[in-house]
């Protein structure tokens, strides 16, 4: 079983923000594979289904970004999954808008949601798909930037990157992380 976690902030006010691209990918996967993500469990909205013959849990933590690890820890403990079965999808300001970067492990890179996941799991050894949201303007506060929405020009790029992230998840399920890295990085 794979646990696929998209990071974001709950409530409608954050829908469509840069910080919520992880949620956008979960919705994309949910739609493509007909896996409703509406059960409240483990401090998340989750959905159970099958992708390419593999059981999956789709999850959107409802703890707010900075405490995402609490939900991830509960999911990992309850389903007794190995770290190799976890895929975390989130925004990255160091990548151009829509660019994907897949990693098998790594540091938090300043992302508070990932910092909390690393703290809760006690390791950096989990797969992640980072989606570029662009670098913040020099005179803008980081929180205001990541909680802001994409421009009209950026919206189709982000929708296409959510499609590519879904395809990358499928590649990881049918092959492995290295194959997804070769194909999508």
The yes-or-no answer on residue 19 being catalytic is yes
Contact call for residues 67 and 89 (beta carbons, < 8 A): no
pTM value? 0.97
Q: Which of 66, 75, 169, 150 is CA-nearest to residue 108? A: 66
Q: Which two tokens stand for residue 100?
A: 């994907």
Contact call for residues 80 and 153 (beta carbons, < 8 A): no
Query: How many other β-carbons are positioned within 10 Å of the β-carbon of residue 90?
Result: 25
The predicted structure's pLDDT at residue 91: 97
| Residue list for the binding site for tRNA | 14, 64, 66, 112
Question: Does the domain at residues 2-184 carry the CATH identifier 3.40.50.1470?
Answer: yes
Contact call for residues 133 and 97 (beta carbons, < 8 A): yes
Edge-to-edge strand list for the sheet holding 2-6? 39-41, 44-51, 54-61, 2-6, 86-92, 127-132, 100-103
The tens place of each residue's pLDDT in the chain, 185 residues long, gives 999 999 999 999 999 999 999 999 999 999 999 999 999 999 999 999 999 999 999 999 999 999 999 999 999 999 999 999 999 999 999 999 999 999 999 999 999 999 999 999 999 999 999 999 999 989 999 999 999 999 999 999 999 999 999 999 999 999 999 999 999 99
The predicted structure's pLDDT at residue 99: 98
Say which of 19, 42, 111, 175 is annotated catalytic: 19
Domain boundaries, the chain: 2-184
d(CA 111, CA 91): 8
d(CA 166, CA 110): 24
The predicted structure's pLDDT at residue 61: 98
The predicted structure's pLDDT at residue 41: 97
Q: What is the residue whose two structure tokens read 């160091």?
A: 94
d(CA 115, CA 73): 13
d(CA 122, CA 69): 10
């Amino acid at each position: 079983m794979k646990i696929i976690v998209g990071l974001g902030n709950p409530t409608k006010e954050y829908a469509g923000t840069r910080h919520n691209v992880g949620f956008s990918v979960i919705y994309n996967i949910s739609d493509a594979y007909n896996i409703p993500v509406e059960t409240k469990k483990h401090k998340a909205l989750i959905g159970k289904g099958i992708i390419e013959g593999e059981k999956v849990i789709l999850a959107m933590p409802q703890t707010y970004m900075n405490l995402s690890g609490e939900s991830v820890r509960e999911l990992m403990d309850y389903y007794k999954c190995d770290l190799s079965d976890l895929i975390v999808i989130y925004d990255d300001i160091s990548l151009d808008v829509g660019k994907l970067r897949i990693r098998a492990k790594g540091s938090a890179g300043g992302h508070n949601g990932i910092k909390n996941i690393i703290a809760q799991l006690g390791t950096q050894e989990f797969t992640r798909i980072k989606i570029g949201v662009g670098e913040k303007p020099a005179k803008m506060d980081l929180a205001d930037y990541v909680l802001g929405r994409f421009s009209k020009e950026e919206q189709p790029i982000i929708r296409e990157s959510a499609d590519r992230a879904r395809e990358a998840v499928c590649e990881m399920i049918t092959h492995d992380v290295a194959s997804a890295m070769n194909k999508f990085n």
